[in-house]
């Protein structure tokens, strides 16, 4: 179970969902919650296209106000939930800072970038999962309420898939339903002597209420929208043919 969680608390205009989700998880697992806000003048002026040095002091004032707001939001959320929290404000590169702090925690919580997100937000989302070496949970801006009740596991019988499933065990073990999905698995990996399911090593989830789905790549879009609604709470195998 995660006992040390880190959440990136972005600027005030960004969604509060990652912080709320991180507090929710800290409550659920009785975990310590660290909040980090990173001030980067370079990324700020680049995003706002302000390259006149004389205007940078105003930019610094806005950054200081954003940092103060982020700290207040973090302290208010943790105090309200009774969660043990620790605040970090760093001047530097956002992605590098989150990686450095994230390597010593059990889970990193980030906001899911929107279509119009600034480049630094997309850079954080691209770099952290590959460089931090720790599990990363992306929280969409519209998130509210429960977390991890219906879970989809993308499975290809690889080392990376096994590591991701193992890292997600705290959420998977408490889920109402887990769907293990493989897309176009190699033909020589499909056959199993027991005939119970057709996804290699999919019985990693045999202790949960699991739906196992094997599908063709072209059927992925339709099945993603329908399988979560239609599958039963018992283990089953679905093999679309088109």
Q: What is the pLDDT of residue 197?
A: 52
Q: What is the pLDDT of residue 201?
A: 54
Domains defined along the chain, listed by start = 4-139 (3.40.50.620), 150-238 (no CATH)
Q: Are 47 and 118 in contact (CB under 8 A)?
A: yes
Q: Which residues of 164-198 are buried (b: 16+ CB within 10 A; e: fewer)?
A: ebebbebbbeebebbbbbbbebeeeeeeeeeeebb
pLDDT in tens, 148-158: 888 888 888 88
- Dihedral pair phi/psi, residue 51, rounded to 5°: -115, 10
Summarize the confidence of residues 182-211 as an average pLDDT. 55
Nearest-angstrom CA–CA distance, 171 and 177: 11
Higher-confidence position of 118 and 235? 118
3-state secondary structure (DSSP) of residue 210 = strand
Nearest-angstrom CA–CA distance, 208 and 201: 14
Ranges 88-92, 117-121, 209-213, most confident:
88-92
* Residue percentage of the chain with pLDDT more than 90: 34
CA 12 to chain centre: 20
Q: What is the pLDDT of residue 105?
A: 96
Closest CA to 41 of 54, 65, 59, 53: 59
Which tokens belong to 49? 């296209």
Closest CA to 89 of 9, 6, 13: 9
Q: Are 185 and 156 in contact (CB under 8 A)?
A: yes
pTM: 0.77
pLDDT in tens, 113-127: 888 777 788 889 999
Which tokens belong to 2? 């995660």
């Amino acid at each position: 179970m995660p006992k040390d969680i880190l959440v990136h608390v972005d600027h005030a205009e960004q969604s509060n969902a990652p912080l709320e989700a991180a507090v929710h998880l800290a409550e659920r697992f009785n975990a310590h919650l660290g909040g980090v806000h990173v001030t980067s003048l370079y990324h700020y002026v680049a995003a706002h296209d302000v390259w006149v040095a004389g205007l940078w002091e105003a930019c610094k004032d806005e950054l200081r106000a954003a940092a103060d707001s982020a700290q207040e939001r973090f302290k208010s959320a943790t105090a309200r939930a009774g969660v043990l929290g620790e605040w970090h404000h760093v001047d530097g590169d956002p992605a590098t800072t989150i990686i450095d702090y994230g390597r010593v925690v059990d889970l990193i919580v980030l906001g899911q970038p929107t279509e119009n997100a600034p480049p630094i937000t997309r850079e954080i989302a691209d770099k952290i999962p590959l460089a931090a070496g720790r599990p990363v949970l992306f929280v969409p801006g519209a998130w509210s309420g429960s977390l991890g009740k219906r879970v989809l596991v993308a499975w290809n019988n690889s080392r990376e898939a096994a590591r991701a499933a193992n890292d997600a065990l705290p959420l998977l073990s408490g889920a109402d339903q887990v769907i293990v999905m493989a897309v176009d698995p190699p033909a020589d990996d499909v056959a199993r002597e027991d005939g119970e399911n057709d996804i290699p090593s999919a019985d990693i989830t045999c202790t949960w209420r699991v739906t196992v789905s094997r599908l063709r790549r072209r059927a992925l879009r339709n099945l993603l929208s329908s399988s979560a609604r239609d599958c039963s709470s018992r283990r089953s195998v679905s093999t679309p043919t088109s």
